[in-house]
């Protein structure tokens, strides 16, 4: 129910506000030291009214950062491919759910994310403790578990709208806090 409420508010945002927020998010994120020194960033392509990521992905590529993007597997786990520009994306529909944009090239395997210096996680909200509320499919819970098993410690960042930083979100035992949330108006760190 909480997820539906966040999505309802997000989906009611005017397209001009979504575009303006994407530019502000890219500018703020690019100023982060984690991204300034990153060689590999695992990210995602925003869809619909999600906080925009394409400007950030292109700016990272312009800095010669290797950008990995997820490919949703049938079991909701994620494989990874390399982003080489907007032309390298394929629009993919998965069983009646929203269309996703995935890298069209070579698949690198689910463990490719363990090489990332930074992981940009999608989300619907983050609370004061840095706990993230995702969409509920468990894909990124698997990513976080994979990173933990590999003893990989990339910076975990979430891009959100200002109204999506809230006092509290529900937490399950497997949930892990993020390091920071980036919104159009600023950056908030948690650890």
The pLDDT assigned to 97 comes to 65
> Per-residue pLDDT tens for 75-105?
999 999 999 998 999 999 876 667 889 999 9
Domain ranges of the chain: 2-189
Residues making up the annotated binding site for substrate are 45, 50
Residues making up the annotated binding site are 45, 50, 132-140
> Per-residue pLDDT tens for 112-134?
999 999 999 999 999 999 999 98
What does pLDDT average to over the chain?
93
CATH fold for the domain made of 2-189 = Rossmann fold (3.40.50)
Q: Which of 122, 111, 116, 119 is nearest to 45 (CA)?
A: 122
Q: Which of 139, 138, 185, 131 is nearest to 158 (CA)?
A: 131
Residues making up the annotated binding site for ATP are 132-140
Would you say 185 and 162 are in contact if contact means Cβ atoms under 8 Å apart?
A: yes
What's the predicted TM-score (pTM) here? 0.94
């Amino acid at each position: 129910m909480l997820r539906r409420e966040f999505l309802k508010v997000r989906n009611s945002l005017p397209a001009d506000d979504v575009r303006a927020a994407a530019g502000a998010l890219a500018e703020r994120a690019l100023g982060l030291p984690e991204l300034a020194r990153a060689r590999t960033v695992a990210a995602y392509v925003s869809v619909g009214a999600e906080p925009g990521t394409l400007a950030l992905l292109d700016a990272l590529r312009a800095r010669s950062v290797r950008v990995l993007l997820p490919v949703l597997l049938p079991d909701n786990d994620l494989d990874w491919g390399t982003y080489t520009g907007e032309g390298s994306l394929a629009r993919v529909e998965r069983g009646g759910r929203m269309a996703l944009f995935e890298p069209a090239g070579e698949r690198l395997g689910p463990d490719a994310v363990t090489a990332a210096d930074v992981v940009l996680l999608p989300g619907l909200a983050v609370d004061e403790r840095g706990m993230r509320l995702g969409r509920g499919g468990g894909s990124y819970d698997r990513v976080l578990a994979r990173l933990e098993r590999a003893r990989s410690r990339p910076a975990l960042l979430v891009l959100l709208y200002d109204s999506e930083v809230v006092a509290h979100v529900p937490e399950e035992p497997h949930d892990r806090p993020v390091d920071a949330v980036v919104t159009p108006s600023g950056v908030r760190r948690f650890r």
